[in-house]
Amino acid sequence: MIRRAASLSLLLGCVGNAPVEPPSLDLAMFASRVQPVLAARCASPACHGSDRRRLRVYAPGFFRSDPRRVHRDEPITADELAANERSAAAFVVEAPSAAESLLVTKPLDQVPHLGGQVFSASDDEHATLLAWIRTGAIP
């Protein structure tokens, strides 16, 4: 019985575990509009400026990929920017709509968020996140 249950769980565990491609989002828009929002509102060490968070945000003066650069105000590197974009895009994967993505619902505190409500639906930052998500053809 245990062997059968283990086999079944192994089989079921394989179903639906195919890699999910992140949406193709506008990197230039991320760099110019979204990164500044994340850096200003989400990058503190108490929030997403930490390697302990699923959404990790590198930002000048905060969390950096090279620990020797932590708390320096140098611009982020191209690798850090790309990592931020991938990390943010992961919170958009499989969202039925831009407004239902975790990147938007968590800071609105519509789903549990340790940081509580960070934005309101009328904030420019919220509109920026929605606009960026919609560049990936997510309504």
Residue 18 pLDDT > 70, yes or no?
no
| pLDDT for res 62 | 87
Beta carbons of 79 and 65 less than 8 angstroms apart? yes
Give 68-104 pLDDT, tens digit per residue. Answer: 877 678 899 999 999 999 999 999 888 899 999 999 9
Cβ neighbourhood burial of 52 (10 Å; 0-12, 13-18, 19+)? exposed
Would you say residue 107 has pLDDT above 80? Answer: yes
Q: Look-up: residue for tokens 């560049």?
A: 135
| Cα separation values, 99 from 1, 41, 47, 60, Å | 45, 19, 22, 28
